[in-house]
Amino acid sequence: MHRFGRNLALVFVIGTVAACGPKPPPKPMPVPPPPVVFVAPPPPVMPLPPGGAASSTKLPAYGADGLRITPNRGLSREEAIWNFRSAINVAALNCQGPVWGVIAQNYNKLIVVHKARLNQANTAVDNEYRKRFVGQNALRVRDTRTTELYNYFALPPVREQFCNAALAKSQESLTVPVATFADYAVAGLTDFDNIFLNFYDAYAKYEIDLADWKLKYGQTTASTPPVKAPTAG
């Protein structure tokens, strides 16, 4: 009986000692996530003129037929033939390098292969100007318009497209029969002019996109300095 009592007392003492031992450390509090800071995304990049064109580029006006007015619009057949020759001539002067350099060689061959038809066109255009500009120095008027035409064909933003087209057409024209050269030249001039018309359409879209960008984001930047088109000699 006394032995059982001692054992019970021992168990009680052991239990009491265990209850008085060190308590386990509290569980660490969870670290709160960092506060969310809203950063507004930067505005889209401001639209840029196509082909690196100057922001001061002036687009040709539309004619009564709804098409843009260019030096190659409203021409007689003979003047269209001559303007085609002028396009190849400008390319021969302005398109240099190992690939485009052959255009000058092709042009020199072109004016020999199709000499008779080109001379016919040139004479006819002289006569057209004399009839249209009676009492004026008609040939000087033609020279002035030829300079304008050369500057038109030398527009920097479309130089690559123009030179590539001139390379192809200067080669093709050497294989065109003399009898069909006039038709080829008239169609070729339209192809050349479309390069510039496509650029004008792209620039008009750029102006719309730029105005929309400024309206949305209220930002402006300094204008791109104007690029002067090289003048073909």
pTM: 0.77
Closest CA to 185 of 66, 63, 89: 89
| Tokens describing residue 159 | 């130089």
DSSP state, residue 55: T
Closest CA to 45 of 225, 226, 221: 221
Are the C-beta atoms of 158 and 87 separated by less than 8 Å? no
Under DSSP, is residue 22 helix (H, G, I), strand (E, B) or coil? coil
Element (H, E) at 2: helix 2-19
List per-residue pLDDT tens for the chain, 233 residues long.
555 445 544 444 445 544 555 677 777 778 888 888 878 788 788 999 999 999 999 999 999 999 999 999 999 999 999 999 999 999 999 999 999 999 999 999 999 999 999 999 999 999 999 999 998 999 999 999 999 999 999 999 999 999 999 999 999 999 999 999 999 999 999 999 999 999 999 999 999 999 999 999 876 544 444 444 444 43
Residue 162 class from Cβ within 10 Å (0-12 exposed, 13-18 middle, 19+ buried)?
Answer: buried
Q: How far apart are CA 212 and CA 199, in angstroms?
A: 20
Output the CA angle 169-186-156, nearest 5 degrees.
Answer: 55
Element (H, E) at 212: helix 181-217
